[in-house]
């Protein structure tokens, strides 16, 4: 067991001495978890192969699941990539720093451990003062996946990181809750048209608007099935998942929420009557439909309001962790419309359920 140091820092004006100490840990080959605007990352010096290997050990992450490299200045993109497609520069200019990861051809300088030996590398410039200050202080890019145990919901607070990785990593920079609560959007720019590998905090529509082309959206990016390893490494495991069994109830018409709620309530009641501890993940708009279920002991949690999917994205992983902490055995979740942030929300819910989807 390691002693995990926690540096509490201000998200807007991080204490330079904490950043210096954390960068020193990274320089020595150690691991530091740090906040970004999406979720907390578990960082290692991207050019230190043995430090990067430790990320996989500590998370229990399959070695064929590559890491995103985080940068603080554009020159670092040029140093990581062997060539840059024009779309890379357009997207970097439009969205960095921000919740977009681009996949580009990789330079030989990047260790195999980072890319799982793929010929391409995933790069992003995060929009968070703490993350940027840490990369600047280290003076080189930081490889970082989400700072959770592999398979668990991604961490949106330092407490989540401590719960999963306390005693296993050298330090955590704690700057409170993250802004978006879902991971970055990943687009692969090594093919034409570009391919969405993972929907995330940056809506796909905004990327397409800047590029002036449609991005290809494979079924696995919608969370409808598992990916083939060659297409999207690391996208083929049950992920983001609570320990509880889970089902997602989807609709082609969320204008008719009563219809969705009727099915959710029926499934929840069936399970609670079998003696299982059941929780419904609903939205502010549908809370009122579940009074009968609640009276029979079904737990209710709202993810946020459908009027503002940002709130739903932001609460999602926290709610999935609460479900486990509170001992629920079965979760019934309502779907949301697959537009804007809704694409990322549905990807996470479907994967969390192990693709257990019911359509009404
Ligand atoms: P995480 O940060 O844990 O959400 O994981 C990062 C994700 O980025 C991985 O699961 C991969 O699917 C994706 N990724 C990272 N590097 C690459 C790459 N070189 N090629 C394709 N996808 C990548
Ligand atoms: Mg992850």
pLDDT tens digits, residue range 247-274? 999 999 999 999 999 999 999 999 999 9
Best residue for ligand 1 mutational test, from 58, 77, 103, 235 (most atoms within 8 Å of Cβ)? 103
Provide the pairing of β-strand 100-105 with 120-124: antiparallel
Best residue for ligand 1 mutational test, from 52, 110, 197, 226 (most atoms within 8 Å of Cβ)? 197
Residues 6+ apart with CB under 8 A from 255: none
Classify 43 as helix, strand or coil. strand
CATH of domain 245-359: 3.40.50.11030
Please name which ligand lies nearest the alpha carbon of 153: 2
Q: Supply the pLDDT for residue 262.
A: 98
pLDDT at 158 exceeding the cut of 70: yes
Strand ranges inside 156-255, DSSP E: 171-174, 185-188, 195-198, 245-250
Q: Supply the pLDDT for residue 225.
A: 78
User: Residue 236: which pLDDT band, with cuts at 50, 70 and 90?
Assistant: low
pLDDT at 37 exceeding the cut of 70: yes
Number of neighbours of residue 312 by Cβ within 10 angstroms: 26
Q: In terms of Cα–Cα distance, which of 22, 308, 52, 86 is closest to 180? A: 308
Indicate which atom in ligand 1 lies nearest the CA of residue 188: 21
Alpha carbon distance 17, 146 (integer Å) = 24
Say whether 245-359 and 5-183 share the same fold. no
In the chain, the N- to C-terminal Cα span, in Å, equals 49
User: Residue 350: which pLDDT band, with cuts at 50, 70 and 90?
Assistant: very high
Q: Supply the pLDDT for residue 230.
A: 56
The residue-averaged pLDDT of 15-19 equals 98
User: Residue 175: which pLDDT band, with cuts at 50, 70 and 90?
Assistant: very high
Best residue for ligand 1 mutational test, from 33, 61, 65 (most atoms within 8 Å of Cβ)? 65
Average pLDDT, the chain: 96
pLDDT tens digits, residue range 41-85? 999 999 999 999 999 999 999 999 999 999 999 999 999 999 999
Indicate which atom in ligand 1 lies nearest the CA of residue 118: 19
pLDDT at 241 exceeding the cut of 90: no
pLDDT at 313 exceeding the cut of 90: yes
pTM above 0.85, yes or no: yes
Give yes or no for a contact between 51 and 45, defined as CB atoms under 8 angstroms apart. Answer: yes
Residue showing tokens 């029979």: 296
The residue ranges of every structural domain in the chain are: 5-183, 245-359
Q: What is the distance in A from the centroid of ligand 1 to the CA of 195?
A: 13
Fold entry, domain 5-183: DHBP synthase (3.90.870)
DSSP secondary structure letters along 251-275: -S-TT-HHHHHHHHHHHHHHHHHTT
Indicate which atom in ligand 1 lies nearest the CA of residue 234: 10
pLDDT at 239 exceeding the cut of 80: no
Q: How many residues does the chain have?
A: 360
Give yes or no for a contact between 245 and 329, defined as CB atoms under 8 angstroms apart. Answer: yes
Q: What is the distance in A from the centroid of ligand 2 to the CA of 358?
A: 25
User: Residue 235: which pLDDT band, with cuts at 50, 70 and 90?
Assistant: low
Q: 226 or 224, which is more confident?
A: 224
Angle at 87 between CA 84 and CA 92, to 5 degrees: 85
The residue-averaged pLDDT of 159-181 equals 98
Please name which ligand lies nearest the alpha carbon of 196: 1
Binding pocket residue ranges, ligand 1, CB within 6 Å: 65-68, 103, 115, 118, 120-122, 145-146, 183, 186, 197, 232-235
Q: What is the distance in A from the centroid of ligand 1 to the CA of 233?
A: 7
Angle at 306 between CA 214 and CA 238, to 5 degrees: 65
Indicate which atom in ligand 1 lies nearest the CA of residue 106: 19
The residue-averaged pLDDT of 192-200 equals 97
% of the chain at pLDDT higher than 70: 97
pLDDT at 139 exceeding the cut of 60: yes
Give yes or no for a contact between 232 and 256, defined as CB atoms under 8 angstroms apart. Answer: no
DSSP secondary structure letters along 279-290: EEEE-TTTGGGG
Indicate which atom in ligand 1 lies nearest the CA of residue 61: 3
pLDDT at 275 exceeding the cut of 80: yes
Q: What is the distance in A from the centroid of ligand 1 to the CA of 65?
A: 6
Alpha carbon distance 350, 235 (integer Å) = 12
pLDDT at 211 exceeding the cut of 60: yes
Q: Supply the pLDDT for residue 233.
A: 60
């Amino acid at each position: 067991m390691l002693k995990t140091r926690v540096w509490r820092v201000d998200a807007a004006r991080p204490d330079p001495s904490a950043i210096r100490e954390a960068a020193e840990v990274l320089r020595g080959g150690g691991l530091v978890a740090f906040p970004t605007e999406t979720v907390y990352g578990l960082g290692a010096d991207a050019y230190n192969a043995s430090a990067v290997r430790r990320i996989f050990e500590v998370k229990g992450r399959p070695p064929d699941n590559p890491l995103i490299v985080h940068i603080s200045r554009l020159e670092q993109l040029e140093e990581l990539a062997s060539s840059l497609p024009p779309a890379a520069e357009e997207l970097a200019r439009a969205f960095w720093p921000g919740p977009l990861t681009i996949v580009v051809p990789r330079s030989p300088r990047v260790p195999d451990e980072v890319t799982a030996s793929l010929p391409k590398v995933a790069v992003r410039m995060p929009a968070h003062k703490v993350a940027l200050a840490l990369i600047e202080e280290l003076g080189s890019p930081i490889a970082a996946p989400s700072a959770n145990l592999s398979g668990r919901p991604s961490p949106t607070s330092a407490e989540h990181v401590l719960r999963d990785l306390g005693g296993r990593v050298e330090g955590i920079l704690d700057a409170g809750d993250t802004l978006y609560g879902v991971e970055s959007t990943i687009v692969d720019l090594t093919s034409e048209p570009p391919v969405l590998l993972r929907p995330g905090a940056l809506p796909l529509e905004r990327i397409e608007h800047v590029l002036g082309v449609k991005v290809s959206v494979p079924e696995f990016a919608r969370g409808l099935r598992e990916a083939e390893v060659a297409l999207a490494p690391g996208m083929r495991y049950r992920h983001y998942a609570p320990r509880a069994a889970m089902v997602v109830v989807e609709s082609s018409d969320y204008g008719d929420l009563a219809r969705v709620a009727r099915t959710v309530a029926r499934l929840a009641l069936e399970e609670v009557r079998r003696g299982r501890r059941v929780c419904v993940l609903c939205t502010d708009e549908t809370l009122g439909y579940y009074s009968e279920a609640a009276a029979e002991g079904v737990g209710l949690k709202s993810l946020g309001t459908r009027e503002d999917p940002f709130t739903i994205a932001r609460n999602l992983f926290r709610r999935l962790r609460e479900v486990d902490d509170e001992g629920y055995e079965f979760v019934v979740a309502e779907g949301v419309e697959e537009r804007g942030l809704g694409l990322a929300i549905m990807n996470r819910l479907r994967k969390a359920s192990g693709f257990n989807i019911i359509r009404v």
